Amino acid sequence: MSNADDDMMLEVYQGNFEHGDQMSLMLALKHCLKRSQPLPEWAATALLTAIGQVQKYEATSWDEVFGVPHPGRKVDQLRIERRLRWEVLHRVTKYRRQKPKPKDIFQIVADELNISRATCKRYFDNLHRWFRKTPS
């Protein structure tokens, strides 16, 4: 990833954080730590503020200052999606390249992976959306 890509990712995290996505602070921290680069000022300030709130008993938990990691989502289902989404993408792409294309690719892949068609399509759409919003 180039410096410009790093800067763009950190800007995305900052914008998301400023719009209430507390997890974006953690993602920015992870991003910088993995690349041994300094934390941007906005993230350093937010992190120090969060630590201070817990240290001064203004917040009762880390979830209160950093947000609940997966609000409203069942972690078991998220684990299954994480395990299968790339396989869904791979198989759907493979079938789309065939001549002639199968009629209902999502149903075929769903049957192969023992999931519903709707779940298969959701995994594919979620990953596809992620690719569109991630800087290249």
Q: How confident is the model over 80-96, as pLDDT tens digits?
A: 888 899 999 999 999 99
Distance CA 89, CA 87 (A): 5
pTM: 0.57
| Dihedral sign, Cα of residue 110, residue 115, residue 117, residue 123 | negative
Q: How confident is the model over 8-66, as pLDDT tens digits?
A: 889 989 998 999 888 899 999 999 999 999 999 999 999 999 999 999 999 998 888 88
| Dihedral sign, Cα of residue 25, residue 29, residue 34, residue 39 | positive
